[in-house]
Chain A
Amino acid sequence: MSTKPILSVPTEQLENTTFDATMEERILELLKRYPTTRATLIPVLWLCQERYGWLAPGVIRAVADRLGESPAYVEGVATFYTMFYTKPPAKFVLQACETLSCAVCGGKELLHHLESRLGIKPGEKTPDGVFQLVGVQCLGACGTAPVVQINDDYYENLTIERLDAVLDDLKGRS
């Protein structure tokens, strides 16, 4: 598995975000799927997060303008959902499942290992911006516990050794 790094565009560059023809085309395609414009909000936020890495204030304003919503409304929705980044994420976001099945099958030890290996606590980024550690709730892969999701990819049936090998590989490619 080769997990793609997140490339977050810096805040300043997103200050006056406008959507180019490619984005506009994809938004128009989404608008065809739903009877209301508002229903495209979450799909459009996904598009933006894929494109810019995160939802900077400038991006929130651009989405609000395009869909005829207030920036406050868009931010209100974006912050309700845990997967939308309203702060720039690290290149690799390590989402370690903390819920019961993972917790009793080695997940706790895995999280402690990540904390000590990276020298950070859940919610923090390494100083070089490569890794970010997040303790997350059930990822829906309990039969292959413990599980860590890294960006879009699931890493299952993990041991400390296997996770170390994954991190070494990601670190080498960043």
Chain B
Amino acid sequence: MESVLLRARGVPNSRSIDTYLAAGGWSGFAKALSMTPDAVVQETIESELRGRGGAGFPTGRKWSFVPKDHPGPRYLICNADESEPGTFKDREIIEHDPHMVLEGIAIASYAIRSNTAYIYIRGEFVRWAALLEDAIGEAHRQGWLGRNVKGSGYDLDIWVHRGAGAYICGEETALIESIEGKRGFPRLKPPFPAVVGVFGKPTVVNNVETLACLPHILTKGAKWFASIGRPKNTGTKLYCVSGHVKRPGVYELPMGVTFREIIEGPCGGIREGHTLKAFFPGGSSAPVMRASEVDVRADFDACAEAGTMLGSGGVIVLDDSVDMVETAANLAHFYAHESCGQCTPCREGSDWARDILDRIVAGHGRPADPETLLRICRFASQGMTICPLGDAFSLPISSIVKKFPEEFERHIRAASTVPQKKLPVLPWAGSRPGFGS
């Protein structure tokens, strides 16, 4: 298959605007400018492009929720806060082809009639934020950004806005709060950002990879895009594979290949002397899959049917050397650290889950622990919290408890009982290593 999103990988000087223009770059935006914004929305709807950030919501439909008669400004935000464990695709696009991201932003901004766009990039990506700044400078100098783009009468500014270390800011309403100069606390929905977003104005938040598809949809047409992949799961997808494969990395494949094809194909299979035990299909927030489920198709609908999700396409592969209880404990640490603290079920639940899992790993598991973990997960998910972080920690942990009960039993059977000296108290955060403490 011909590379679309990763076509610049390996091309010398791929980041410069001249290389990009020579490959037909910025012509998608030029084409968009010759169309009405509504026609761009329609073309995107027909391509059946779905959001690559994790939710898989149809991009064109998301844009269509922006009120057309709104008098004031509207905003487009590019979500480059790539923080989902196992996900490293957006960095790859920015590294090799920053102009493709900018062109996608320009097309989306035009479609929703926005004159200002922000790229919210995770704070750690200092180098990649600088690459985007450089590309923005080039695009300005060549008249693809700024006032009256290429004589069309359309104005567009793109600003890079660096985050500062918070997983939660990848959630679109937390991201919006963060741009506004606040703590990254997610907002209750509705109202949805398309109606009340950043600075109280209609706002669309799209992922880097989603936006990077747009120049190709505009130049090659919605039909071409929809012909790749499977019905309702169209286009190519960047699968980021990490963990115990021979060749981890980012691979671009048509949507709907199976996880087996990804793992045994470009990744070269599981490392020597080991066999596949489990994998997370779409970042660590997706329910875990057993080795026997490796023939599931890696698209939004097939993953949902299999009881998991494609999420961001971050495939974390674990071989038979891995202890699944330790895996659950590792992830519980992540979510307990990243819970923003707004909602009790998530803030307390993630801390309790972490402490219980740590205790089991330390050899002090109790027979009732798996049931307690499931109960914590039940109370923190299914709409009990403002944002999906509650589900994000509940789904992987509860799925590990359900799919690998024998590993919990083994730990708990071997556990030594410790006499309870004191009543359990709320988890104490003071000992957690971190910045500023």
Contacts and interface: CB of A to CB of B under 8 A. Distances in A.
Contact of A121 (B87, B157, B433): B433
- Most B CB within 10 A of own CB, among A36, A45, A149: A36
Given A99-B334, A104-B318, A145-B242, A135 B88 contact: no
A83 to B, nearest CB: 4
B126 to A, nearest CB: 4
A145 B330 CA distance: 15
Contacts of A38: 180-182
Interface stretch (B140-148, B225-233, B244-252): B244-252
A149 B124 contact: yes
Contacts of A76: 183
The size class of the interface chain B forms with chain A is: 35 or more
Interface in A63-114: 76-77, 79-87, 98-101, 103-105
B366 interface: no
Given A36-B199, A84-B435, A143-B240, A100 B85 contact: yes
Given A77-B182, A84-B164, A98-B333, A138 B85 contact: yes
Contact of B181 (A36, A46, A99, A138): A36
Nearest to A74: B181
Contact of B84 (A33, A40, A138): A138
Contact of A152 (B127, B163, B334): B127
B162 interface: yes
Contacts of B321: 104
B425 to A, nearest CB: 22
A139 B181 contact: no
Interface in B316-347: 316, 318, 321-322, 327, 330-331, 333-334, 337-338, 340
A137 interface: yes
A119 interface: no
Nearest to A149: B124
A35 interface: yes
B243 A101 contact: yes
Nearest to B318: A104
Nearest to B183: A80
A39 interface: yes
B240 A142 contact: yes
Given A81-B164, A82-B435, A137 B334 contact: yes
The size class of the interface chain A forms with chain B is: 35 or more
Contacts of A138: 83-86, 167, 284, 334
Contacts of A135: 433-434
B73 interface: yes
B124 A143 contact: no
A142 B248 contact: yes
Contacts, number: 161
A122 interface: yes
A46 B244 contact: no
A40 B181 contact: yes
Nearest to A138: B85
Given A85-B436, A134-B434, A137-B337, A35 B248 contact: no
A143 B184 contact: no
A123 interface: yes
A140 interface: yes
A14 interface: no
- Most B CB within 10 A of own CB, among A82, A99, A142, A152: A142
A121 B178 CA distance: 31
Contacts of A158: none
Contacts of B241: 143
A152 B85 contact: no
Contacts of B337: 137
A101 B433 contact: no
Contacts of A142: 85-88, 240, 242-243, 248, 314, 316
A43 interface: yes
B435 A39 contact: no
Interface in B150-170: 157, 159, 161-167
A143 B126 contact: no
Interface in A44-70: 45-46
B179 to A, nearest CB: 6
B181 A35 contact: no
The 9 closest A-B pairs by CB, nearest first: A122-B433, A81-B164, A142-B242, A83-B165, A41-B181, A82-B165, A123-B433, A38-B181, A101-B242
10 contacts: A33-B157, A34-B179, A77-B183, A84-B164, A101-B85, A101-B86, A138-B167, A140-B83, A144-B88, A152-B126
Interface of A: 33-36, 38-43, 45-46, 76-77, 79-87, 98-101, 103-105, 121-123, 134-135, 137-145, 149, 152-154
Given A43-B161, A80-B340, 10 more contacts: A39-B199, A40-B181, A42-B178, A80-B184, A99-B284, A100-B327, A100-B331, A137-B337, A142-B87, A142-B316
